[in-house]
Every structure is written in C-alpha cells, then in structure tokens.
C-alpha cells in the first residue's frame, strides 16, 4: 500500500514539474515529500506563497467548457473529474476522482507556452526529442522513457494537432502517456494524458481512453495555426503569376512579329495597327488600274475635242481674213 501511494505521489509530482518549455530543470523531489503519517498521498496543493495560491481551487466538473489564458484556450472538462484551477505550475490540471483500490489517478495536464508553433513533420521531429529529454529529467524514478509513435491528427474544430504516444517505467510500474500539441496564432499548448500502460492497451482501453480523448480533442484556441513557409508560398505564387504573364506576352509578341515577317516576304505592306490581306490588296490594285484607264480615256476625249475646236477656229479666222481682204482695193 505504501509503495502504491509512493507511486501516486511520484507521478503527481512528475506531472506538475515536467511541462515542456520551463526555463529551469525540474526540481529534485524527495520520495517521501507529500506523504501523510499514514503513508497516504497528501492531496493539498504544493506549498507556495499566499499570493500564488490565492486563486487556486479544486472543483468537480459537470462537463462544462473551461477557458484559460484569458480566453485564448478552452476545453470541455470530463464530467466528475477534479478540476484544479489556478495551479502554480500548469495552465490546467484535471484528475479523475479517487476510488478504492485504484492503482493510479489518471490525469490530464495542460501547459501553455509563448509563441506559435507549426504543426508539421519538422515540429513533430523536434518535439519527439524534446519530450524525451524533458520528461526523462522529471524524476530519477523515471526509467526507459521513449516515444512509441507520433502522427498528425485533426481536432474537433478542424485544426491540426501533433499526437505523441510515450511509455516509461515509474518505480518499476509501466505507464503510458498521450501528448497532443496544438497552436494558436500567439501561443502553443501541450496536453498530456497519463495512465497505466494496461489501460492504453488492454481489452478495456476504450473505457479509459475515450473520456480523456473526447476532452483533449474538444479544445478551441484563438487564431489560426501558422503554416510554415506560407509567406514564401504567397510570394512564390505572385512571382509565378508574373513570370507566366511575361512568358505569355513574349510568346504572343514573337508570334505577331513572325506573322509580320511572313507578310513582308509575301510583299504585303502592313503597319503596327492594321494588316491588309493579299486579296484586299489585289482588289485595290484592280480598282486603281480601272480608275487609271478611265482617266486615260477622259484625257484622250479632251484632246480630240480640243483639236476639232482649233480647226474650226482656224477656219473662222481664215474666212474673216478673206472677208477683210475683199474690202481692200487693189
């Protein structure tokens, strides 16, 4: 009994002091710290200054949604669980009610960190290493901590999250964890569900996991999850569009120039604004020839008329001159 109480204590302290992103290493914890004289776990909150614990309280969930970080993060709490609000080390801690004979009180802890995180394979690889390093250092009683598998999942609100399954021994007892990383446009959050390994893998696993899974996937955060290289993609799309326009303009310009050169070889005189077809030119040429012929005929008619008039006038002049000579005496 004492060993199991010690296990519960170590796990609780392990969860409290192990959030990722803490500036300092987790503090060393004595194995007997937090135990009452009877060997049971002292469930009172950690000793802190009164100012830190002014807002600390434990309430029993009725399945309501709770907001933390000034409304930046909200989650649906499992009905009947103890909800630790104003916790000095975590944004939120939720723990199942203790029952007689329970080996471990499964918990969900939520840690909040500054800055947004990309939810992709690069971040997944980084956090696989970070989770192992940080959680392995949480307590000397932690052994063989490792990531079992990881994947990108979709939360209820449609955003992507990173899921990591880890396993380890604590005081020789096999435990497992499900970590889910989500990000808003301003902060990122790591949720960790911890329980006995047999509850993850046994025939009754769904009875233990479904409640925690429904709660963790119900999260809502303000702002969209950032996408890596999104700015570069936007610039690339704009640049690609401009390149396409330049290539298209160049293609049509060359095609137009080639057409002009082809017309030039055929003897067709065209300018930049109007291109005359060869048939149109032939029609114009024919009209010009016909017009020229009419002009020549008119000119010829005018010349013949002029000659006749000149002869008539010459005859009149001769007759006038003859009359004049008739009046002159010899």
For residue range 107-148, list pLDDT tens digits in order: 999 999 999 999 999 999 999 999 999 999 888 899 999 999
Residue 193 structure tokens: 């569900």
pLDDT of residue 27: 31
pLDDT of residue 264: 57
Distance (Å, whole) CA 82 – CA 96: 6
Token pair 């390994």 in the structure block, residue: 197
φ/ψ of residue 33, rounded to 5 = -65, 130
Distance (Å, whole) CA 135 – CA 13: 12
Distance (Å, whole) CA 13 – CA 43: 11
Q: Could you tell me if 214 and 244 lie in one domain?
A: no
Residue 135 structure tokens: 């959680």
- From 187, 221, 255, give the residue that closes a domain: 221
- From 192, 221, 250, give the residue that closes a domain: 221
Which residue numbers in the chain have pLDDT < 50?
A: 1-2, 4-5, 8-9, 12-46, 48-52, 272-273, 275-276, 281, 298, 304, 317-330
Residue 170's CB is within 10 A of a number of other CB atoms, namely: 20
pTM score: 0.60
Q: Could you tell me if 70 and 209 lie in one domain?
A: yes
Residue 199, sorted as left (phi over 0), alpha (psi -120 to 50) or beta, turns out to be alpha
Distance (Å, whole) CA 110 – CA 152: 19
pLDDT of residue 322: 46
Residues whose CB is less than 8 angstroms from the CB of residue 197 and which lie 6 or more positions away in sequence, other chains included: 167, 174, 175, 176
Q: Could you tell me if 211 and 174 lie in one domain?
A: yes
Instruction: Give the single-character DSSP code of 222.
Output: S
Could you tell me where the DSSP H helices lie in the chain?
2-17, 50-53, 121-136, 197-201, 205-216, 230-265, 278-327
- From 173, 204, 221, give the residue that closes a domain: 221
Instruction: Give the single-character DSSP code of 190.
Output: E
Distance of CA 186 to CAs 87, 154, 182, 221, 226, Å?
Answer: 22, 19, 11, 10, 9
pLDDT of residue 206: 85
Residue 16's CB is within 10 A of a number of other CB atoms, namely: 21
Q: Could you tell me if 167 and 285 lie in one domain?
A: no
Could you tell me where the DSSP H helices lie in 18-97?
50-53
Q: Could you tell me if 215 and 237 lie in one domain?
A: no
State which residues form the domain around 300: 230-327
pLDDT of residue 202: 75
Residue 81 structure tokens: 């669980």
Q: Could you tell me if 178 and 213 lie in one domain?
A: yes
Do residues 181 and 123 lie in contact, with contact meaning Cβ atoms separated by under 8 Å? yes
CATH number of the CATH domain containing 37: 3.40.1000.10
Q: Could you tell me if 73 and 205 lie in one domain?
A: yes
Q: Could you tell me if 14 and 69 lie in one domain?
A: yes
Distance (Å, whole) CA 99 – CA 77: 19
Do residues 242 and 203 lie in contact, with contact meaning Cβ atoms separated by under 8 Å? no
pLDDT of residue 50: 45
pLDDT of residue 201: 85
């Amino acid at each position: 009994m004492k060993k199991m109480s010690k296990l519960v204590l170590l796990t609780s302290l392990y969860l409290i002091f192990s959030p990722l992103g803490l500036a300092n290493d987790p503090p060393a914890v004595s194995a007997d710290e937090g135990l009452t004289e009877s060997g049971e776990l002292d469930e009172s909150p950690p000793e802190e200054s009164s100012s830190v614990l002014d807002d600390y309280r434990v309430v029993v969930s009725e399945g309501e949604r709770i907001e933390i970080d000034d409304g930046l993060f909200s989650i649906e709490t499992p009905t009947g669980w103890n909800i630790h609000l104003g916790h000095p080390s975590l944004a939120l801690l939720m723990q199942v009610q203790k029952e007689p004979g329970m080996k471990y009180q499964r918990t969900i802890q939520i840690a909040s960190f500054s800055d947004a995180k990309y939810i992709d394979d690069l971040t997944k690889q980084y956090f696989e290493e970070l989770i192992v390093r940080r959680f392995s250092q949480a307590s000397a009683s932690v052994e063989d901590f490792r990531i079992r598998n990881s994947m990108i999942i979709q939360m209820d609100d449609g955003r992507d999250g990173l899921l990591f399954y880890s396993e380890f021994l604590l005081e020789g007892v096999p435990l497992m964890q499900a970590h889910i990383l989500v990000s808003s446009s301003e902060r990122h959050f790591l949720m960790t569900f911890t329980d006995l390994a047999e509850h993850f893998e046994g025939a009754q696993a769904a009875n233990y996991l479904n409640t925690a899974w429904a709660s963790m996937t119900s999260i809502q955060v303000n702002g969209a999850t950032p996408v890596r290289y999104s700015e570069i993609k936007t610039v690339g799309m704009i640049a690609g569009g401009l390149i396409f326009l330049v290539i298209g303009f160049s293609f049509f310009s060359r095609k137009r120039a080639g057409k002009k050169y082809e017309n030039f070889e055929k003897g067709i005189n065209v300018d930049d604004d109007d291109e005359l077809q060869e048939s149109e030119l032939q029609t114009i040429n024919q009209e010009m020839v016909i017009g020229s012929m009419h002009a020549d005929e008119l000119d010829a008619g005018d010349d013949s008329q002029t000659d006749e008039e000149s002869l008539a006038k010459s005859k009149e002049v001769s007759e006038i001159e003859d009359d004049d000579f008739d009046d002159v005496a010899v």
